């Protein structure tokens, strides 16, 4: 449980994460699930999504979250491994 007294009046946090391009994500998927998984991807640009994502920050320092002990995985490969271990369909709760 998080001791919220250390948050002060500002209760929002930028959480740590992994910076990766779509190409990075596809390569990690291919390493984890093979070329068959990559073949399922339909690569079609979507201008509405590009506009949304284009407005996101490219990087930031999640200092407050890190000071509270929040950490992120180090790569997309690690994100996939954690998903497969903890959250993939068929996993027991």
CATH code, 23: 3.90.25
Domain that holds residue 66: 4-86
Assess if residue 91 is contained within a domain. no
**Is a pLDDT exceeding 70 seen at residue 8?**
yes
The pTM of the full predicted model, rounded to 2 decimals, is 0.76
**Is a pLDDT exceeding 90 seen at residue 2?**
no
Assess if residue 11 is contained within a domain. yes
CA dist., res. 59 & res. 21, Å (int): 12
At 93 the pLDDT is: 64
Identify which of 19, 3, 1, 17 has the alpha carbon closest to the alpha carbon of residue 66: 17
Q: Residue 90 — left, alpha, or beta (φ > 0 → left; ψ -120 to 50 → alpha)?
A: left
Mean pLDDT, the chain, whole residue set:
91
The dihedral sign for the CA sequence 17, 84, 91, 40: positive
Assess if residue 68 is contained within a domain. yes
**Is a pLDDT exceeding 90 seen at residue 40?**
yes
Q: Give the count of domains, the chain.
A: 1
């Amino acid at each position: 449980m998080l001791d919220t007294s250390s948050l002060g009046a500002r209760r929002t946090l930028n959480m740590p994460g992994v910076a990766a391009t779509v190409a990075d994500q596809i390569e990690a998927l291919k390493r984890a699930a093979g070329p068959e998984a990559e073949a399922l991807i339909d690569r079609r640009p979507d201008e509405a999504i590009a506009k949304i994502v284009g407005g996101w920050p490219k990087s930031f320092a999640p200092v407050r979250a890190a000071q509270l002990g929040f950490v992120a995985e180090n790569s997309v490969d690690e994100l996939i491994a954690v998903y497969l271990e903890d959250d993939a369909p068929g996993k027991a709760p």
